[in-house]
Amino acid sequence: MTKEETRIHELEGQQNPFRVPEGYFENFNERLLARLPQQQQPRKVVRLMPRVWRYAAAIVVVLGVGSALYFNHKTTAPSYAYNEEAAQEEYYNQVLDYAMVDNMEIAAYLTEADY
């Protein structure tokens, strides 16, 4: 116990120092309702976000999604001409990559070859 609590207990003893007047709670509800205003004031609706801001936000979202879809759409030009030489070179490159043969091995093979 602190000094203040000890001092209070010495002065007042162990009794509760807070007292309620006699009959206070008997008519409490009636007295409380009598003090309240009889007419209810009309309730005011406060919009958190004005309607204009909602429409503006919807437009921004639609433009953002539309531009993202438009600019991320990748198109390639169709190639109608078939180039035999380019196709053959691409085939050889794929074969060499698959076989893991580098340029030095190819040069050594070509210099050792008998014609």
Q: Rounded to an integer, what distance in angstroms lies between the CA atom of residue 52 and that of residue 48?
A: 12
- Considering the domain boundaries, does residue 32 fall inside one? no
Domain that holds residue 102: 87-115
Answer whether residue 92 is part of any domain: yes
How far, in Å, CA of 103 to CA of 92, rounded?
13
**For residue 100, is it within any domain?**
yes
Number of separate domains in the chain: 1
Query: Does some domain include residue 39?
Result: no
Q: Please tell me the predicted confidence (pLDDT) of residue 87.
A: 85
Give pTM, 2 decimals.
0.28
Whether 54 is covered by a domain: the verdict is no
* Amino acid code (one letter) for 30: E
Q: Is residue 1 part of a domain?
A: no
Residues 6 or more apart from 106 whose CB is under 8 A from it? 96
Please tell me the predicted confidence (pLDDT) of residue 20: 81
Q: How confident is the model at residue 115 (pLDDT cuts 50, 70, 90)?
A: low
Dist. CA 115–CA 111, nearest whole Å? 10
Q: What is the pLDDT of residue 17?
A: 66
Number of Cβ within 10 Å of residue 8's Cβ equals 13
